A and B are shown apart, each in its own frame.
Chain A
Amino acid sequence: MRRFTWFNATSLSLGFAFLYIPMIILIVYSFNSSRLVTVWAGFSTRWYGELIQNEAFLDAAWVTLRVAFVSSCIATVLGTMAAYVLVRGGRFMGRTLFSGMIYAPLVMPEVITGLSLLLLFISIGLDRGVFTIILAHTTFSMCYVSVVVSSRLVSFDRSVEEAALDLGCTPFDAFKSVTLPIIAPAVISGWLLAFTLSLDDLVIASFTAGPSATTLPIKIFSSVRLGVSPEINALSTILISLVTIGVVTASLVSKRRIVQARRDEQMAEQTA
């Protein structure tokens, strides 16, 4: 099956080159001792040192993390509730409208979402800052959560919930002790998705952020406009390593789960 051919090798290396050469160059240059980004002047960790002392960057990073954490938590709760109602609620007045509306932010250009939120905040007189960014991020990431969670809800056997009701659960108890544990993986991946979307977002945040709060993407983008500094390379390298650690951990965990499931199946067969 897995034979080495020149064709396979070429397509693999081409694919990887496209994906990773830009990042590798960025990582390499983050250890450049020169102030000029494109001129190599020897290895140094100088920019990492300067980054740690750069209050503006650290503040922006802290704001970003807070916004991402809070908004993804709210989005997960709201998105899960919306998904549950859409999948399990049967027919109710305005169901079609509601299900259409919830997916609208997925296809809406970010600029429009950002602008409309800005207009809303101005018209109700809300001062722009961390709070408004959280609201904005919750708005667009809850629809991603509800898509992920509802696809899980659709695929799981309704009678498991009915069994819980039949055994004496109130509908809320049934949701809490049966439905939620079963859809937990989808809820967690919905949360992770919302968290990353919020970390990434530049457009909506730049509409809804005020002078008091700047997120990291805004900070990076605005400083790049003044010329790329090696500090940004260092910062990006740190972000890349954080993401890599997260992805590798997640894949290791899921691999272990697959091995466990296979062992369980064997156990079931032996005792059958």
Chain B
Amino acid sequence: MQAQARPAEFAPWNDPNETPLIRFDGVTKRFGNFTAIDDIDLAIHRKEFFALLGPSGCGKTTLMRMLAGFEAPTEGQITIGGKDMAGIPPNKREVNMMFQSYALFPHLTIWDNIAFGLKRSDMAKDQIAARVDEMLRLTRLERFSKRKPHQISGGQRQRVALARSLAKAPKLLLLDEPLGALDKKLRQDTQFELMDIQEKTETTFVIVTHDQEEAMTVASRVAVMDNGKIIQVDTPPRIYESPNSVYVADFIGDVNLITGTAQLGQGGAALLTWAEGQPEIIGTAGEGLSASAPATFAIRPEKVNISESRPECVNNVVRGKIHDIAYLGNISTYHVELPDGQIIKAQTANNRRLSQRMYTWEDEVYLSWTDTAGLVLAG
């Protein structure tokens, strides 16, 4: 779509000459009658920070455990670095995993925890010591090397788990909800730390998370999953701005959804007939949209303008009454009720003090948006 790829930009997935590090080919995993992973094809490239995002039970953890070797696919093939992984046990894979519970060895010191994997490789003793010290420096844990895991805080334990899984310099590092146990502030700091470490070590990271903000922050690409299927794989901006389905639009961020019937317009535009006596909504046509079929218009609240008087030169205008105001400090979300009872959310930045707010409850306002601000999606 936008062919503005600057040469410095990291986007190996757009390069047809690049061979991916990991390939899933028609992978299905069943547990008894339950299908956890349903015929997935996926390619992940070297040095990528790839996020698997989805609600709990969508199969993202199963997908990761198959990469680590703890589960074998029922059907299909997984290759890492061109090698078929079928039948290769976890200890023979150049893949390391950081567990959600950290899974530190309680009877070993931090130093021995980090050295654990190295001692099981054919590395010389003094090299092991040097590598462990390097990992301790990288994760700023030098002071705690002699402590046991229960003698340090949760954030430090998280860093030990990271250091331990990075120590063997794996081709691929898997992170299973790595920040789930940390509080919000620490989590945000650690996200940037993770990105930093990923860049420094040039390792491919695959992270499993249910936190969309986390996925958007750290990842080069995000795969949104639902019910064992991958719904969309794309960069965070594209996932947010051009979701390929109502599910993705709804799962990522806040969105207004209006259902109706689509008509195809000119130059990638689409029209949505949604309520009697109301003008059609103009938006960008989504993937696989067909004429006269049921469709949903999706627009982010921050792309909806709110005004007292009818704006000029804009095609998409609706009138409504303010039903509710959610004040979040930096922004406010206005819940505006349309004549037919639908609620549309409009978000504005609070660049004025609260006492000077322009609108209040029960005010009649106009909502408007540009022709390209929203998407008309099939379904």
- A-side residues, CB < 8 A to B, are 157, 159-160, 162-170, 173, 178, 181-182, 261, 264-265, 267-269, 271-272
Q: Is the CB of A169 within 8 A of B153?
A: no
Q: Is the CB of A268 within 8 A of B153?
A: yes
Can you show 17 pairs from A to B with CB atoms below 8 A apart?
A157-B101, A160-B103, A160-B105, A160-B106, A162-B90, A163-B104, A165-B91, A167-B91, A167-B120, A167-B164, A168-B91, A182-B106, A271-B143, A271-B144, A271-B152, A272-B153, A272-B156
- With A162-B99, A167-B117, A170-B91 already in contact, the answer to whether A178 and B153 are too (CB < 8 A) is no
Q: Is the CB of A268 within 8 A of B91?
A: no
Q: Is the CB of A271 within 8 A of B153?
A: yes
Which residues 293-326 in B have Cβ within 8 Å of A in the complex?
A: none
- Secondary structure at the A interface, as helix, strand, loop or mixed, is helix
Q: Is the CB of B151 within 8 A of A166?
A: no
- B-side residues, CB < 8 A to A, are 68-70, 89-91, 95-97, 99-101, 103-107, 116-117, 120-121, 143-144, 147-148, 150-156, 164-165, 168
State which of A165, A267, A269 has its C-beta within 8 Å of the C-beta of B89.
A165
Residues of B within 8 A of A173 (CB): 120
How near does chain A come to B171, taking the closest CB pair, in angstroms? 13
Q: Is the CB of B90 within 8 A of A165?
A: yes
Residues of A within 8 A of B121 (CB): 168
Q: Is the CB of A166 within 8 A of B96?
A: yes
Q: Is the CB of B144 within 8 A of A166?
A: no
Q: Is the CB of B70 within 8 A of A168?
A: no
* CB closest chain-A residue, reference B96: A166
State which of B97, B107, B152 has its C-beta within 8 Å of the C-beta of A166.
B97
Given contacts A163-B103, A166-B69, A168-B91, 15 further A-B contacts (CB under 8 A): A159-B101, A162-B68, A164-B116, A165-B91, A166-B95, A167-B164, A167-B168, A168-B168, A169-B91, A169-B120, A264-B148, A268-B150, A271-B144, A272-B153, A272-B155
Residues of B within 8 A of A163 (CB): 97, 99, 103-105, 164
A182 to B96, alpha carbons, bound, how many Å? Answer: 22
Q: Is the CB of A269 within 8 A of B103?
A: no
- With A165-B89, A167-B168 already in contact, the answer to whether A159 and B120 are too (CB < 8 A) is no
Q: Is the CB of B91 within 8 A of A166?
A: yes
- With A168-B91, A169-B91, A272-B155 already in contact, the answer to whether A265 and B106 are too (CB < 8 A) is no
How near does chain B come to A200, taking the closest CB pair, in angstroms? 32
State which of A166, A182, A267 has its C-beta within 8 Å of the C-beta of B90.
A166
How near does chain B come to A167, taking the closest CB pair, in angstroms? 3
How near does chain A come to B100, taking the closest CB pair, in angstroms? 8
A173 to B90, alpha carbons, bound, how many Å? Answer: 13
A135 to B350, alpha carbons, bound, how many Å? Answer: 81
* CB closest chain-A residue, reference B107: A181
Q: Is the CB of B120 within 8 A of A168?
A: yes
Residues of B within 8 A of A271 (CB): 143-144, 152-153, 156
Q: Which 5 A-B pairs have the closest CB atoms?
A: A167-B117, A272-B153, A168-B120, A163-B103, A159-B103
State which of B103, B106, B144, B152 has its C-beta within 8 Å of the C-beta of A162.
B103
A272 to B155, alpha carbons, bound, how many Å? Answer: 8
How near does chain B come to A103, taking the closest CB pair, in angstroms? 27
* CB closest chain-B residue, reference A160: B103
A140 to B154, alpha carbons, bound, how many Å? Answer: 44
A169 to B69, alpha carbons, bound, how many Å? Answer: 13
State which of A168, A181, A264 has its C-beta within 8 Å of the C-beta of B117.
A168
A162 to B64, alpha carbons, bound, how many Å? Answer: 13
Residues of A within 8 A of B144 (CB): 271
* CB closest chain-A residue, reference B68: A166
How near does chain B come to A214, taking the closest CB pair, in angstroms? 43
Residues of B within 8 A of A267 (CB): 147, 151
Residues of B within 8 A of A268 (CB): 150-153
Q: Is the CB of A162 within 8 A of B120?
A: no
A228 to B255, alpha carbons, bound, how many Å? Answer: 90
State which of A164, A178, A265 has its C-beta within 8 Å of the C-beta of B150.
A265
